[in-house]
Amino acid sequence: MWYRIDFTRFVQQLLPPILRSKVMMALFRVFITPLRYLYDKFLAYRDSISSRLNITANVQYIQKALNDAFYLTDNQIYIETPEDERTPSFYFQDEGQPPNYFYVAGNKPFYLREPDEVSSRETFIVYIPTFLCSSLDSEDDKYNGENLQIIYNLLNYYKPAGRSYRIELYDYE
C-alpha cells in the first residue's frame, strides 16, 4: 500500500553512497526510532478502524462484533428477532373510523397526541450469557457493569437507526 514505509531503507537511500557506513546507519536508526514508533501506532490504529468499518448493521455482523469484543468463539452472544404482532394504527377514511384515533384490538380507541403514547416493542433481542454479566443492574453485577457497558456501547454504535433492542441473560452450559 502507499502508506507502508520502511524508514531505515528510506534514510539509507537518501544518504549519498559515500556516507552509508555502518556507524552512520546505526546513528540514523537511532534518530528515526521515535518516527518508527509513531508510524507503528498509526498502523495499529488504522487496522482497528478498518476492522470496525467492516461491520455493518446486519444481525450476523453485530453478533460477530459482540462475540469478538469478548473473544468468544462459539457465538455465545446471539440475537433473535421477536415475532411481529402489529395491529393497524391508521385507517382509511372509507373504513368509517374517526380520524386521529388509534384502535387496539378489544380496547376503546384513544387519541394519538405524542409518539410516546404508542407502545413500542424492541426490534431485536440480544441474549448474553451470565458468565459475562450476572445482572442487568450494574450495582448487582459481579463485574460492576463493565461488560454490560461494553455491550451497550457496541449495540448503540452498530444497530440500525430507528431500531430498538432488549438484553436478556441466559445460563450458558
Give the model confidence (pLDDT) of 18-58 as tens digits.
Answer: 988 999 999 999 999 999 999 999 989 988 887 777 666 67
Q: What are 96-152's pLDDT values in tens digits? A: 665 555 556 666 655 554 555 455 677 888 999 988 888 888 888 888 888 999 999
pLDDT number for residue 36: 93
Instruction: Give the confidence band of 73 by pLDDT, cuts at 50, 70, 90.
Output: confident
Residue 1 lies in a domain: no
Neighbour count for residue 19 (Cβ, 10 Å): 11
**Percent of the chain whose pLDDT exceeds 90:** 27
Is the domain of 93 the same as that of 154? yes
pLDDT number for residue 32: 94
Query: By residue range, what is the domain housing residue 111?
Result: 59-170
Is the domain of 78 the same as that of 17? no
Residue 2 lies in a domain: no
| Bridge partner residues of 127 (DSSP) | 78, 168
Report the amino acid identity of residue 100: N
The sign of the torsion formed by the CA atoms of 150, 152, 153, 157 equals: positive
Work out how many domains the chain is built from and give that number: 2
Domain boundary among 37, 53, 69: 53
What span, in angstroms and rounded, lies between the C-alpha atoms of 116 and 67? 33
End-to-end CA distance of the chain: 45
Cβ–Cβ under 8 Å, residues 173 and 157: no
Cβ–Cβ under 8 Å, residues 59 and 127: no
Is the domain of 30 the same as that of 68? no
Instruction: Give the confidence band of 172 by pLDDT, cuts at 50, 70, 90.
Output: confident
Residue 151 lies in a domain: yes
Closest CA to 101 of 92, 88, 89, 117: 89
Helical packing angle, 33-53 and 7-14, nearest 10°: 130
Higher pLDDT: 112 or 65? It is 65
Is the domain of 133 the same as that of 75? yes
Is the domain of 63 the same as that of 129? yes
Residue 67 lies in a domain: yes
Instruction: Give the confidence band of 16 by pLDDT, cuts at 50, 70, 90.
Output: very high
Is the domain of 72 the same as that of 27? no
pLDDT number for residue 56: 66
Higher pLDDT: 115 or 157? It is 157
pLDDT number for residue 98: 56
Helices (H), 70-132: none
Is the domain of 98 the same as that of 118? yes
Closest CA to 125 of 172, 158, 79, 163: 79
pLDDT number for residue 159: 85
pTM of structure: 0.57
| Bridge partner residues of 112 (DSSP) | none
Indicate the burial class of 7 (C-beta count within 10 angstroms; 0-12, 13-18, 19 or more). middle
